[in-house]
Structure 1
Amino acid sequence: MKKLLLAATVATLAMNAAQAAPTLYGKLNVTLDQIDKNGFKDESVTKVNSNASRIGVKGEEKLTDSLSAVYLAEWGVSTDGAGSDADWGMRNRFVGIKSDGIATLKIGQFDSYLKTAAGNNQDIFNDHTELDMTKVLAGEDRLSNVIGFETDKKLLGGLAFNIMFQQGEQNENATTKDPVTGKDVTIPLTNAAVGQKGSRNGFGDGISTSITYENKDFGLAAAVAGNFAVASKYNAYSLSGVYTDAIRVTGSLDLKPAGLDGLVLGGLWQTAQPTDDTVTGFKGLKENAFGVTGAYAIPSTPIKLKAEYISAKTEVDGKEDRKNDLYGVGADYQINKQARFYGVVGQQKIDWQKDNDKKTTIGLGMEYNF
């Protein structure tokens, strides 16, 4: 009897330990890329790129029958040992509470809901250093100091609502020493935010939200998302950290229910402009963009073909509009669920530069997920 009780106790402890253990995960994505007109200059270069490779831990632990604690911490990994993917760079990370089948509340740093509204079928070359749509579009942002609320997709039959509130954590005043008296002097910071009037020192200084819908029976997925007073980048003028209002609409259609097994079409439209028209030297700044994509997983083979075209036009009062186009094709060879080989051919074209206005990339790569 004692042996039976001991065995049961050991088994129970093992189960609890297994439930509490976090999951280690990651992705290593490396390409050998030949780039002509690198940086839109008269030069060609061969690069080994680590395409947003990462490692992280995540988990979910039951607190009650219906509530769980959830957590995730993720770091960038420089697989090639160089470039923009710095080792242990901060990526998504949060801790939160999940109510089974209802909603999740998260606190930390993670992708805006405007960014995640574009899924794999809109950003089909996601993470590739040269072909990711962040090279063209505003709104591909990860927000710090946020509280996010996400409803479960099953709650409303595929319809979900997401909203996050970002705290600017910006002091309203700065303190400095008077050079004559040596006493502390308070200086008001009334307009420290580029693209937004006033300071950012309250709750919800920035907001990101989305409504998503998914119906697998019809192969349909769609989303409408918005960022409001969220810092973003305008690629046409290399402007970053501009507090921006943006609206994004995305959709994809898997044509398998229509008898075209393996064919998925995607689309995206968005508009973005500063929250307040206060960016010095860029009065009337606005970006309008769209994208179309297609992917075809050839039935009964490990091969998937991909294509994308993304275009953004940026306006500024008194200046010529600037157009930024990105287009490419690629092919994946899926070895198993974890590994794939792939090749890409793409080009980015800008129209505000007379010479060296086309950057061409030809790459071969491997991705391994664990």
Structure 2
Amino acid sequence: MKKLLLATAIAALSVSAAQAAPTVYGKAFVTVDYEDIESNAGDSDSLQINSHASRIGFKGSEAMTANTDVIYQLEYGVDIDADDSRTFASRDTFLGLNNKNFGEFRFGRNQSSLDRINNVVTADGGYWDNLGSDDNMVDSGRIDNSMIWTAPKYQGLPLQVSAMYAADENDNGSDGFGVAAMFDQGTGFTAGVAYDKDLNLGNGGYNQTGDIIRGTATVDLSKFAAVPVTLGALYQVADFDFAGSEKEKGFVLSAAMGLQNFAKPATVYAQYNNTSNLRGFDGIDSDQIVVGGKYFYQPNMIVHAYAGQNDSDRDVRFDGVRGDTKTLAIGGGLEYLF
């Protein structure tokens, strides 16, 4: 009888451990890039080995009640080529709850709600995955000390709503908040709108307070005609609070086309970025064009190739360099998902 009870207890513990066991996941993405920069600070060119958003993470969930699960994720950046200090830097890390009636709540370090509508960017891998750099419009970032709520779907309505709050624990009066809504009924058209106040400009690393409003739309032409092309557009206005600032206005236009004549799935893309009044400084503008492609040996084994050029003004007030800067970069690499 004692042996039976012991076996039962061990089995119960095994089931509990299996339910709580995390999923290990990640990405390794390494490229070889040729970079040529011409600027007032001098010209330079180099051949580089770069790691792009490589990471390892642990995530999982476990039932707390019949309607509520505990959810968690610990994700860390890994710098594969080991040329800076990003190795094991915190990415999205949170503990939260997912309730069938009230939605999902994540507490910790979360990607901001602004990112919930970003399905337009096609140059999303490698050197030119650079929204938020000195030469492009500000972008969504990860927000410390934050909570993000995702609303449950209401009666099948094709609308995903999110809201975010970030606490300013230094009591500087810059607590931030944001909201986002994405419409997608699966018919080939999506539309999104998002707003945040003192999240990405305050808590997100741009060292300024202010607000951002972003709108996006995509059209999958294959849903309407025999054309395997998806078009996307993003428009954004960032309003900085510092004295004398101008509104930073930027847009992205993109197109991605699936190729049919390869043994494996392949996609080519083009993307154009334009930004006026970078970081709120009047007359500091940027143009960028990128073309590239992806070849999927397996769904988790992707070969990238791309080329692009950025022509931007610089202002000594935010990056120490004044004048025009032209950047040309050509590269390719391998992305492995696990």
Would you call these one fold, judging by a TM-score over 0.5? Answer: yes
**How far 1:100 moved relative to its partner?**
2.6
Kept in 2, the 8 Å contact 1:102–1:155? The answer is no
Counterpart position of 1:183: none
| Alpha-carbon distance in 1 for matches of 2:289, 2:177 | 31
Equivalent residues in 2 for 1:249-260, closer than 5 Å: 249-260=215-226
Counterpart CA distance in 1 for 2:129 and 2:309 is 8
1:339 and 2:301 equivalent?
yes
State the alpha-carbon separation in 1 of the partners of residues 15 and 70 from structure 2.
Answer: 17
Counterparts of 2:38 and 2:18, CA distance in 1: 49
Other-structure match for 2:197? 228
1:107 pairs with 2:107 = yes
Query: In 2 relative to 1, CA 109–320 (structure 1 residues): closer, same or farther, beyond 3 Å?
Result: closer
Structure 2, gaps ≥5 residues long:
315-320
Identity of aligned residues (%): 28
Give the 3-state SS of the residue equivalent to 2:92 in structure 1: strand
Q: How does 1:309-328 map to 2 (within 5 A)?
A: 309-314=272-277, 321-328=283-290
Query: CA shift at 1:103, angstroms?
Result: 0.8
Matched, 1:292 2:253: yes
1:190 corresponds in structure 2 to: none
- Aligned equivalents of 1:267 and 1:315: distance in 2? 19
- Per-residue CA deviations over 1:74-108 (Å, capped at 9, x if unaligned) read 1110011114x611111111111101365101111
Assess if the C-alpha contact under 8 Å between 1:37 and 1:356 holds in 2. no
**Is 2:281 aligned against 1:308?**
no
Residue identity opposite 1:125 in structure 2:
A
Q: Which residue of 1 aligns with 2:176?
A: 206
1:131 Cα offset (Å): 3.6
Q: Is the contact between residue 255 and residue 264 of structure 1 (CA under 8 Å) also seen in structure 2?
A: yes
Contact 1:284–1:315, Cα closer than 8 Å, also in 2: no
Structure 2 CA distance for partners of 1:337 and 1:102, relative to 1, 3 Å: farther
1:59 corresponds to: 60
Q: 2:123: which partner in 1?
A: 125
User: Distance between the aligned counterparts of 1:99 and 1:211, measured in 2?
Assistant: 19
**Structure 2 match to 1:151:** 151
Distance 1:251 1:51 in 2: 26
Structure 1 residues 6 and 335, CA, compared in 2 at 3 Å: closer, same or farther?
A: farther
Distance 1:324 1:252, change over 3 A: same
1:230 CA displacement: 2.4
* TM, length-normalised to structure 1: 0.79
Contact 2:126 2:332 (C-alpha < 8 Å) held by counterparts: no
* Matching residue's letter, 1:200: G
Is residue 32 of structure 1 aligned with residue 32 of structure 2?
yes
Change (3 A) 1:360 1:214: same
Residue 360 of structure 1: aligned partner: 328
8 Å contact from structure 2 (residues 270, 289) kept in 1: yes
Deviation at 1:213, TM superposition (A): 1.2
* Paired residue secondary structure (2:294): strand
Does the residue aligned with 2:81 lie in a helix, a strand or coil? coil
How far off is 1:323 after superposition? 1.3
Q: Encode CA deviations 1:168-198: one digit per residue, 9 max, x unaligned.
A: 1124xxxxxxxxxxxxxxxxxxxxxxxxxxx
Q: What's the counterpart of residue 180 of structure 1? A: none
- Give the structure 2 partner of residue 266 of structure 1: 232
Q: What do you get for the CA RMSD once the two structures are aligned?
A: 2.8
State how far apart, in whole Å, the 2-side matches of 1:300 and 1:154 are. 42
Distance 1:154 1:7 in 2: 45
- Contact residue 111 and residue 141 of structure 1 kept, 8 A: yes
What is the CA-CA distance between 1:132 and the residue it aligns to? 2.5
Unpaired segments of 5 or more residues in structure 1?
172-198, 234-238
Change (3 A) 1:290 1:356: closer
Distance 1:153 1:339, change over 3 A: farther
Kindly provide the CA deviation profile for residues 315-351 of structure 1, in whole angstroms up to 9, marking residues without a partner as x: 799x751211121011111011211111010111114
Q: 1:153–1:341: structure 2 CA closer, same or farther, 3 Å change rule?
A: farther
Q: How many residues align?
A: 325
How many Å apart are 1:41 and its aligned residue? 4.0
CA contact (8 A) 2:137 2:279 kept: no
- Structure 2 residue aligned with 1:248, among 197, 210, 214? 214
Q: 1:300 to 1:95 in 2, by over 3 A?
A: farther
Q: Report the counterpart of residue 23 of structure 2 in structure 1.
A: 23
Equivalent residue, structure 2, for 1:182: none
Of 351-360 and 56-65, the range deviating more from structure 2: 351-360
SS of 1:357 mapped into structure 2? strand
- The equivalent residue for 1:236 is none
Offset at residue 148 of structure 1 (A): 1.4
- Spell out, residue by residue over 1:112-135, the C-alpha distance to the aligned partner (whole angstroms, 9 max, x if none): 11133212xx12222534442223
Counterpart contact for 1:76–1:89, Cα < 8 Å: yes
Query: Is 1:123–1:132's contact at 8 Å kept on the other side of the alignment?
Result: no
Measured after TM superposition, the shift of residue 8 of structure 1 is: 7.3
Q: Which amino acid aligns with 1:357?
A: T
**In the alignment, is the contact (CA less than 8 A) between 1:56 and 1:74 conserved in 2?**
yes
